[in-house]
Structure 1
Amino acid sequence: MPIPRPYQPHSTERNSSAQNVLVASRPPNKFPGAYPPPRPPVGKPIRVPTLQDNVRSGPRPGPSTDPMWEGFDLPEDRHLYDPATSAAEAEKALRELVEESHNDDAETEIDMSQAIVDGFREGVALLPHQVLGRAWMKERETGKKLGGILADDMGLGKTIQTLTRIVDGRPKKSDKADGWAAATLVVCPVALVSQWASEIQKMAVGLRVIEHHGPSRTTDPVKLMKAHVVVTSYSIVSSEHGAYAADAKDETKGKAKAKNTKNLSDSDDASESGSDSDSSAIGKTLVAKKKAAPKKVAKDALFRIKWWRIVLDEAHNIKNRNTKAALGCCALQGKFRWCLTGTPIVEELYSLIKFLQIRPLNDWTTFNEQIAKPVKAGRQ
């Protein structure tokens, strides 16, 4: 019978025991691949604000009561950290300032009996804000006021308000005696010429409308003066202004040339009084054969008329004061001047002021010193 041996652990068990001894002998933070233990909290933790904290029904608590500010010391001059006003905010503030300069619509009593305009077709009536516009445009053509800027947003009816003023504000006999034509000139982009003429015929009764556009347009200013409304484009104004300015220069040169020719002719007659008759006969024959070329009629009828009213639709087309369109529109003669635009606050506001002949800002030096430079300095 074999003698029993004492228990001997297997090799795996011996290795496990050895590892337990090694693990037990290491510090807790020195284990292979182990992370250091978390640090104990020090002080009061900062609570991160949530979206719900920002939505409050009442006034926002100050730093002393709002828990999100605990533990922070704010400087006393907090206004130093206010963000600078952006260009968009400045423009909005300027618009509000301009609107506040006019009577508040909420306090203005609207007489809806003025929604019906004599001279409009049956069924065409003004909306409440257009009734206000009708009264305002009438007021802007009284006394020393000779027009303005109608800057309603797109779709609010700048066309119908302008047409109302055309129907209501016709010239008197005394105005015609002063040389003013009865016609209103409407200048607009090329794509809107036919649309303007169509809208006038659709809304008004008995108005003669002429579309002054294209190469076959009339050169006779008398024909244009017989119309109630003449619709043209900025390109035509630019073209006819060039022809008008060139024709004026040619007339000046022609007078000087005629004077010089007369003096030269008198001198030649005195010096050649002793010449033989054959030379004189030859000279007369050459002069007789030379015929003067017929003078081409300049297409500048727009600048031969003193318009009763001039309306610039989409007036921001002349925002650059150095363009031919801006120079041409400012050179037109008219008693009342209107700018229709949905974007009147632009970099080159000077062109609109120059066209409207608002003194003294229609002078570039004054405008630059009083308006342009201060605005530019404020944006820097």
Structure 2
Amino acid sequence: NGWALACMAPPVGLRPPDGAMQAFLIQIAARSHPDRRAARGALDPGAGSIGFTRMDAADLAELEQGSGLPWQGGDALRALGKQLRAAEGTIPPVVLPADFVGSLRPYQAQGVAWLQFLRSAGLGGVLADDMGLGKTVQTLAHVAIERAAGRLDRPALIVCPTSLVPNWVREAARFVPTLRLLSLHGPGRKSRFGDIAAHDLVPTTYPLLTRDHAVLTAQAWHLLVLDEAHTIKNPSAETTQQVLRLQAQQRLCLTGTPLQNHLGELWSLFDVLAPGFLGTARSFRSRYRTPIEKHGDAERQAALHRRVRPFLLRRTKEDVLAELPPKTEITEPVEMQASQRAVYEAIRLSMHAKVKQAISEKGLARSGIIILDALLKLRQTCCDPRLLPMALAQKAGSAKLERLLELLGTLMDEGRRVLVFSQFTSMLALIEAELQRRSLAYVLLTGDTKDRAAPVRRFRSGEVPIFLISLKAGGVGLNLTAADTVVHYDPWWNPAVEDQATDRAHRIGQDKRLFVHRLITLQTIEEKMDIMKAHKRALIASILEAERGAALRLTEADVEELFAAM
């Protein structure tokens, strides 16, 4: 009826002087909903007070600009709000420290500047770039700047899926080799708990948060990074609850898919990032999710977008197309789990002994077939132990297959078109079974495919997003420029063969930037192959010639290098 209640002692009823004040009070009330205040524990919702945090600053700046009323007080918060609203394109660039090895693309440098801006304001954020655009390297640059500035007085904790720990270790060694890194992963991690405070970067995994919660929650962290943060989209899960208990000066979420199925997943991300920022799950559902998802409410959708925009940075591959090279190659390191490692080591030791016995009995020159067969078995174990006719191998599991399925899940969420190459048709059959189990559409091309044109036609037309191809059947003669992503499931001795396969997509007519993922199992024959391609060209050439029927020209030292433990 035009009256407002002013919370004074005693309460006084006031009639606002004009409609502008009335509208202003309504908007203030909406921005300080009791559910939000209760969720973040900022104020007693029954006390009649209105309170705001730094995360509300951009909202307040918008309100101040549109109110047409004079404002007083809260100068720092109001200044921050204006800065957040004008942040796009105005954040000053940052200077990378001398111990950062390499350079950043312009959009990556902007991402690091954004992370630094949020840190200076005491805020966290969601870095939601597409996969392959370098969220890891941007985060490492952010950490490197913090250390160079003397602010990294406590470690940075990286929480990621188990399969991504090797990637963080590898990328940190590549870009910031001076970082003191402590991997809290594997059975021996507990012996390293006492060393946490003496390190700069500490990667661990989501499954280990629950097991190691006493140690991790007792440690104060400078930075908490949640990689593949959509992992914690279930707010009631134990892992999510453990994340909320971690204490850090800044929280960052990294994900290429901040929203997969519904808006509730976005709420979960921000509830971990800044509890209460989007209210309780119940109030968020009534205020945003139901109006937007069920009724297509464009006004509520725009309001939600404005609220989260200052704290979410997303660039798709199409957004930064001009900055990307025609082909980006990404090595995906894969670490075996204990059961698969046990099978691999058993086969390595037995094959090593068999090869040495053959050399002793027949000489090195006449042992070529046995050596090649032994190398084949090791490579098959890296792909999936089930490729071997051994009872123990059937139950060991495959870390590489798990990583491929994670990768394909993310790529499908991004709408990518993917070629998956393997030299083993039996491995493609295992991949095929997993895709069927997940209801992912695909086509298959091997040497046994009678109608080669049919799968090519279905992929080119966009009917299916995944094309499984055996390296020998599809390595030449195909034009598949509809693909924007290539995955080499297993490495080949000859890099030229891999390049020929990649060129099915990377050729004249390709109007997209191509991303090539190579899955390499660490501390195995695959990693040795990867190293040898660059430094042991004569040895690689000899193995290639032997596979074509020529004599195997190796020294005994070469054999020892191939079969020795890493």
TM-score where L is the length of structure 1: 0.50
Cα pair 2:91 2:117 within 8 Å, conserved: no
Cα pair 2:140 2:172 within 8 Å, conserved: yes
CA distance in 1, matches of 2:130, 2:141: 18
| 2:278 is the alignment partner of 1:361 | yes
| 2:180 is the alignment partner of 1:208 | yes
Q: Which one of the candidate residues 218, 229, 233 is aligned to 2:205?
A: 233
CA distance in 1, matches of 2:191, 2:281: 33
Q: Which one of the candidate residues 289, 303, 324 is aligned to 1:372?
A: 289
Letter in 2 for 1:320: N
CA distance in 1, matches of 2:171, 2:86: 29
Letter in 2 for 1:228: D
> What CA deviation, in whole Å up to 9, does each residue of 1:113-154 have, x standing for no partner?
x57543212xx01111111111111101112x4210001111
Corresponding residue for residue 150 of structure 1: 127
Once the two structures are TM-superposed, the CA of residue 198 in structure 1 deviates from its matched residue by 1.3
Q: Which one of the candidate residues 224, 228, 239 is aligned to 1:325?
A: 239
Q: Which fold has the larger relative contact order, with Cα–Cα distance below 8 Å and residues 6 or more apart in sequence? A: 1
From the superposition, tell whether residues 140 and 104 of structure 1 become closer, same or farther in structure 2 (CA, over 3 Å).
closer
Corresponding residue for residue 5 of structure 1: none
SS of the aligned residue for 2:190 comes to coil
Q: Which one of the candidate residues 119, 137, 140 is aligned to 2:118?
A: 140
Once the two structures are TM-superposed, the CA of residue 362 in structure 1 deviates from its matched residue by 5.3
| 2:220 is the alignment partner of 1:306 | yes
Cα pair 1:115 1:125 within 8 Å, conserved: no
> What CA deviation, in whole Å up to 9, does each residue of 1:59-107 have, x standing for no partner?
xxxxxxxxxxxxxxxxxxxxxxxxxxxxxxxxxxxxxxxxxx77666xx
> What CA deviation, in whole Å up to 9, does each residue of 1:316-339 have, x standing for no partner?
111111222222212211110000
Letter in 2 for 1:350: W
> What CA deviation, in whole Å up to 9, does each residue of 1:212-257 have, x standing for no partner?
012321267541111100000110013334xxxxxxxxxxxxxxxx
Letter in 2 for 1:119: D
CA distance in 1, matches of 2:217, 2:192: 11
Alignment RMSD = 2.9
Corresponding residue for residue 461 of structure 2: none
Letter in 1 for 2:195: K
Long gaps (5+) in structure 2: 1-84, 298-566
Letter in 1 for 2:209: V
From the superposition, tell whether residues 102 and 239 of structure 1 become closer, same or farther in structure 2 (CA, over 3 Å).
farther
Cα pair 1:353 1:361 within 8 Å, conserved: yes
Corresponding residue for residue 349 of structure 1: 266
Q: What is the percent sequence identity of the aligned residues?
A: 34
CA distance in 2, matches of 1:377, 1:337: 32
Long gaps (5+) in structure 1: 1-100, 242-299
> What CA deviation, in whole Å up to 9, does each residue of 1:181-221 have, x standing for no partner?
51000011101111101110111132111110123212675
| 2:34 is the alignment partner of 1:120 | no
Letter in 2 for 1:226: A
From the superposition, tell whether residues 117 and 171 of structure 1 become closer, same or farther in structure 2 (CA, over 3 Å).
closer
Letter in 1 for 2:145: D
Corresponding residue for residue 315 of structure 1: 229
Cα pair 1:220 1:301 within 8 Å, conserved: no
Letter in 1 for 2:258: P
